[in-house]
Amino acid sequence: MEKEVTDDILKAQIALNRLPKHIAIIMDGNGRWAQIQGKARVFGHQSGVQSVRDITEAAAEIGIEYLTLYAFSTENWNRPNDEVNALMSLLVKTIQAELPTLNKNNIRLQCIGDIETLPEATRLELLDAMEKTSHNSRMTLILALSYSAKWEIIQAVKSISEKVSKGLLDADSIDEALVADELATKGIPDPELMIRTGGETRISNFLLWQIAYAELCFTKVFWPDFRKKDLFEAILDFQQRQRRFGKTGEQVESF
């Protein structure tokens, strides 16, 4: 009850006409959260699913259009096999279990990343859920899976060079919009706010092109503890900032 009151008080302070359209989150700290309690790292990932639910619900509730969650990076394949396997089965289970809720709440599921590298069960479950939610329009939940920004940029460079070498594209016509259209996030607006939980202050190969002008928010809260109130606080902090895009403060204020 007290928690809901805090959530509602914070929510009421958010200016709904100045919401970020797209929020991207690096969900970090699951392993440490579990280890502090003397539990296996996997317990942290399992507990992190409740935060995924809570934050997806909160984002949809206030009218965020796109929410991207960094669920598994290209580099995460280097973790111990047991942890990778546990994460993959957790993904299958979670996607299966959450599909009715996604549809009930009119949320579309999308994915960015090298999904060919995912185990078949995970890939098929994901593709099925993406298909079954493709007509939903309230919010798009994007899972970054087997994703890294450098992988994505390499794919884009390869595709552009192929077009140039086949004579389909003039190298002089390459501009920002063209590059953006070759990225996994084609058609998705850049995130205005990126949040990283878990206390580290780095980007870890996530959406490097797309966050050129994003506001960054780092919190010490571990992902399994990250709740609606924390998301609302990050949005309130975002709304306090002056986004200058290279201009002076005076120029922005006089606009």
Touching ligand FPP, residues 192-251 (CB under 6 A): 198, 223
Task: By CB under 6 A, tell whether 86 contacts ligand FPP.
Answer: no
Distance of closest approach, residue 255 Cβ to ligand FPP, in angstroms: 38
**Which segment (7-15, 44-52, 122-130, 132-140) binds ligand FPP by CB under 6 A?**
44-52
Nearer to ligand FPP, 103 or 239 (CB): 103
Nearer to ligand FPP, 28 or 152 (CB): 28
Distance CA 15, CA 111 (A): 29
**Which segment (45-53, 116-124, 130-138, 233-241) binds ligand FPP by CB under 6 A?**
45-53
Task: By CB under 6 A, tell whether 22 contacts ligand FPP.
Answer: no
Token pair of 91 as six digits: 């993904």
Q: How many residues of this chain bind ligand FPP (CB under 6 A)?
A: 21
Sign of the dihedral defined by the CA atoms of residues 199, 201, 202, 208, in that order: positive
Nearer to ligand FPP, 25 or 156 (CB): 25
String of DSSP letters for the chain: -HHHHHHHHHHHHS-GGG--SEEEEE---HHHHHHHTT--HHHHHHHHHHHHHHHHHHHHHHT-SEEEEEEEEGGGGGS-HHHHHHHHHHHHHHHHHHHHHHHHTTEEEEEES-GGGS-HHHHHHHHHHHHHTTT--SEEEEEEEEE-HHHHHHHHHHHHHHHHHTTSS-GGG--HHHHHHTSTTTTSPPPSEEEE-SS----TTSSTTTTTT-EEEE--S-GGG--HHHHHHHHHHHHHS---TTS-HHHHHH-
**Which segment (65-73, 114-122, 179-187, 238-246) binds ligand FPP by CB under 6 A?**
65-73
Touching ligand FPP, residues 129-188 (CB under 6 A): 143
> Which residue of 14, 24, 25, 31 would you call a contact of ligand FPP, by CB under 6 A?
31
**Which segment (84-92, 100-108, 132-140, 225-233) binds ligand FPP by CB under 6 A?**
84-92
Token pair of 30 as six digits: 């699951």
> Which residue of 22, 43, 48, 133 would you call a contact of ligand FPP, by CB under 6 A?
48
Residues belonging to the active site:
28, 76
Binding site for ligand FPP (CB under 6 A): 27-32, 45, 48-49, 52, 69, 71-72, 76, 87, 90-91, 94, 143, 198, 223
